[in-house]
Chains A and B, each alone.
Chain A
Amino acid sequence: GDSVTQMEGSVTLSEEAFLTINCTYTATGYPSLFWYVQYPGEGLQLLLKATKADDKGSNKGFEATYRKETTSFHLEKGSVQVSDSAVYFCALSMNTGFQKLVFGTGTRLLVSP
């Protein structure tokens, strides 16, 4: 079945460092791809999305490019802040009928001052 893989369970960075969180997917068709963020004690919020190959989603300084050839959707930010500390989930949704999200296991980002 469809799946999303996030290999890094946690990432620790210093403020202003460059961030990459890896995400790869397996899908039988052409999914839409998402990054959701979960701040401590809260639900999930959509951070960005891309609906087709080579699309780049961006928001709040974060970017991710839909790479069909490598089945990847890596999240990047040039300079992280302490306020970016959160759990980041990569997800996919097949663009057929009812929308169901398949999530990765999440990556906890801790940014220290």
Chain B
Amino acid sequence: SQTIHQWPATLVQPVGSPLSLECTVEGTSNPNLYWYRQAAGRGLQLLFYSVGIGQISSEVPQNLSASRPQDRQFILSSKKLLLSDSGFYLCAWTRGAENIQYFGAGTRLSVL
């Protein structure tokens, strides 16, 4: 069966520090991968998606970047965090043309 892992589960970082959140999918190949952010009191916002290794599409210009160094690995990064980067970050994947997205447990990021 397929599983998706995200880590860390919780992260507290100072303003101006770098960020690296990792997401990996097991049990499938060539998944479509997504990063979402859920800010406090708001819905989910799609940040990045990827259809293959090295292929990244950005939905919203911001302080973050994403990379896909391996088929089942998706990384969310920042060189310098802002207070507004605080939120709950969710990774998700889909199989090919299937329109169901499967979500990881999320990372709660607090920038202080």
Chain A residues near B (Cβ < 8 Å): 9, 32, 34, 36, 41-46, 49, 51, 89, 93, 95, 98-101, 103-106
Contacts and interface: CB of A to CB of B under 8 A. Distances in A.
B104 to A, nearest CB: 5
B104 A100 contact: no
Interface residues of B, number: 22
Contacts of B51: 98
Contact of B46 (A32, A34, A41, A100): A100
Contacts of B101: 46, 99, 101
A89 B88 CA distance: 15
- Among B32, B41, B49, B103, max chain A CB count under 10 A is at B103
Given A95-B99, A99-B99, A100-B49, A42 B43 contact: no
Contacts, number: 49
A95 B99 CA distance: 8
A107 to B, nearest CB: 10
